[in-house]
Structure 1
């Protein structure tokens, strides 16, 4: 989920150890397997890769691109967690920064079947079996928790369980795991309000049109600290069934590039680079209670 930045997330929140691991990405009920194959990085030289444009790695994301995933809506600056991850993947594959080209692709556009105008897309895409019928996913680069955001003045601020939110008017972005979490886990009395993007959901909370909104934990930190006046995080929670939600890089279905991209992500996990990037750009919810 995304929101127009007022400031840099990293400057607002101290970096700390993050659970390898929200989920603004659209969702399905079950997680899908990432395509890894038996490929190693030694098999993945730029000249041998099936690229959209020879010698260039074309990476897509949404526009605007928001904190803490990107910075100043400029994915090419290497700042923000997903921008940094994208360049780290490019480096593992043997590309210089100058060899990377960014293009724009809306979230709902990217998850549809069909040939893609990019080599891979990074945009908080949750890996799922249903979605994997239309697209490929790399190995996961992040695992996620959901969070409840409300106002300091809200009677729901002190909620300690998901059941405490049953009578709240809740909102979330359309087609996201956050919306699924509302329907499947909180199960509020009133039908949740659905918004085209996180900007509109957050504005609805600011205007008190909803009592709370649901977003992934890093985005919730950013919203509460930098975007919503008087915003606060009520708590975080994990899915009640299946594996923890994970984000993967998205590629065209059956892309020959998928195994190499997965090999690059795996290498970043193995050498500790993913954790370092999380520590730099994201923050652990050490002071946010878990809602049961």
Structure 2
């Protein structure tokens, strides 16, 4: 199990008490109507001339800023706006709605065109929904207690002097072993165990995927910070837009994401919102 999926479950439990934003119920399959956007002819959207994009019931940084999906700030908000533009929609033509994470990837009709909230592409989920081309592949990152020696590390070499925790059987473990060796690694059964060890001061730092690192520092471990991220994304989870199963938009959205990757836009947005804005440098 990847770290990001574990944290998504933890995040879902943490926000379950929040008031959910009500969505109009679908009595059946939403009537698809032609929109004016798109370069491949008319696109079929749930509302003519509009692109309805769903995201989480509560959004958090650096994916969205100020829990406002429409302001274009944050990595996923910026990516969604860029994709909409590729499809021929202005920002004013985007209708943002909210959905639960699990509800978005269950079978059945949807009242939105596409959904973005750090969905990892898996074969199991593909049975229920469509995925676009991936817009982001997770990197592995280091979370450290602020009073530890690891907190000021700027290179991989400096981390070899700290006690670093990691969960067995994860991509994080593979990267940690390759980058740091096994001499200073503390290996735990689960990511939750690693987090508890960090909170208890048993380890100086932990390695997990970058989305999980943001959640650890923002919600789970006080007085901790994301020190840096490793350069390679090999083996990381791929994040993609979710669309209703068999959506007529899937191909067009994938082409839009591919175009943004090829022209460097995705790299620029990733640097802006997942590195510079949150001060998570690449470890040397």
Matching residue of 2:260: 268
Q: Report the CA distance shift for 1:215/1:116 in structure 2 as closer, same or farther (over 3 A).
A: farther
CA distance in 2, matches of 1:214, 1:74: 29
Is 2:9 the counterpart of 1:42?
Answer: no
Equivalent of 1:59 in 33, 53, 61: 53
Give the conservation status (yes or no) of the 8 Å contact 1:138–1:248: yes
- TM, length-normalised to structure 1: 0.63
**How many Å apart are 1:94 and its aligned residue?**
1.1
* 2:283 paired residue number: 288
Aligned mate of 2:135, from 141, 152, 169: 141
Alignment gaps of 5+ in structure 2: 8-37, 152-157, 177-185
Q: Distance in 1 between matches of 2:43 and 2:162?
A: 47
Shift of 1:163: 9.5
Shift of 1:188: 4.0
Q: Which has the higher helix share?
A: 2
1:95 to 1:190, Cα distance in 2 relative to 1, 3 A: closer
**Cα displacement (A) at 1:55:** 1.8
1:231 to 198, 202, 224: 224
The structure, 1 or 2, with the larger RCO (C-alpha pairs under 8 Å, 6+ apart) is 1
Return closer, same or farther for 1:79/1:185 CA change in 2, 3 Å cut-off: closer
Query: Residue 220 of structure 1 is aligned with which of 213, 220, 231?
Result: 213
CA RMSD of aligned residues (A): 4.2
Provide the secondary structure at the position in 2 that maps to 1:150: strand
Greater Cα shift, 220-229 or 94-103 = 220-229
Give the one of 250, 259, 270 matched to 2:242. Answer: 250
Number of aligned residue pairs: 234
**What stretches of structure 1 of length at least 5 have no aligned partner?**
1-21, 28-40, 171-177, 195-200
**Per the alignment, in what secondary structure is the counterpart of residue 112 of structure 2?**
coil
Alignment of 1:72 onto 2:69: no
Residue 127 of structure 1 is matched in structure 2 by: 121
2:107 to 105, 113, 129: 113
TM-score by length of 2: 0.65
What is aligned with 2:13?
none
> Are 2:141 and 2:230, in contact at CA under 8 Å, matched by a contact in 1?
yes
Q: Which has the larger radius of gyration?
A: 2
Of residues 265-274 and 182-191 in structure 1, the stretch that sits farther from structure 2 once superposed is: 182-191
